[in-house]
Amino acid sequence: MGLAGVLAAGLAACSPTYDWRELDVADGAARAAFPAKVRTESRNITLDGGPLAFTLDAARVDQAVFAVGHASLDGLTAARRDALTRALIRSLYLNLKVEPPADLPPAGADIAVRGEAGGHPVLLLARVWVKGDLLIEAVASGPADKLPPAEAQTFVRSLRLRP
């Protein structure tokens, strides 16, 4: 084996393992393929100036995070639902110190953000939806050199809303 083969084998041995599995998420409203074991956590977040109970199903591979979050919008007006959806999309940019575009991507569209967290370059791929009474987001995020774009796209695009 030549030097290139030895280097390639060495790099392959050091690369993280993606062990894909499909799971129901968002109270069964969606299904997503995660690249590792999933942990679930619930907490209140501040979105558009108010508290929102948010549940996150997340898996980690190396330093990358693959997550589906959801929150109930039950009982909220259409205007409030729209405001929360836009605020969630804006937060994806702001959390990485990037000014959101004047025309935010619509719900369901691919969102790609290259920004910064902790002084390091970060890549984020996401989609945000409203499904019935749920606000749902799928996010793959991590250091730009630790989040392979193909795996990030596979994860974000794997989320399927149930009819």
Query: What is d(CA 5, CA 14) in angstroms, rounded to the nearest whole number?
Result: 14
**The two structure tokens encoding residue 9:** 């084998």
Select the more confidently predicted residue: 27 or 5. 27
Q: pLDDT (tens digit, 9 = 90+) per residue, 111-129?
A: 999 999 999 999 999 999 9
Task: Summarize the confidence of residues 60-85 as an average pLDDT.
Answer: 96
What percent of the chain shows pLDDT beyond 70?
90
Who contacts 88 (Cβ-Cβ below 8 Å, separation ≥6)?
A: 47, 128, 135, 137
Domains of the chain as residue ranges with CATH: 18-161 (3.40.1000)
Distances (CA, A) of 136 to 65, 78, 116, 121, 133: 16, 16, 24, 26, 10
Q: pLDDT (tens digit, 9 = 90+) per residue, 79-96?
A: 999 999 999 999 999 999
pTM of the model: 0.88
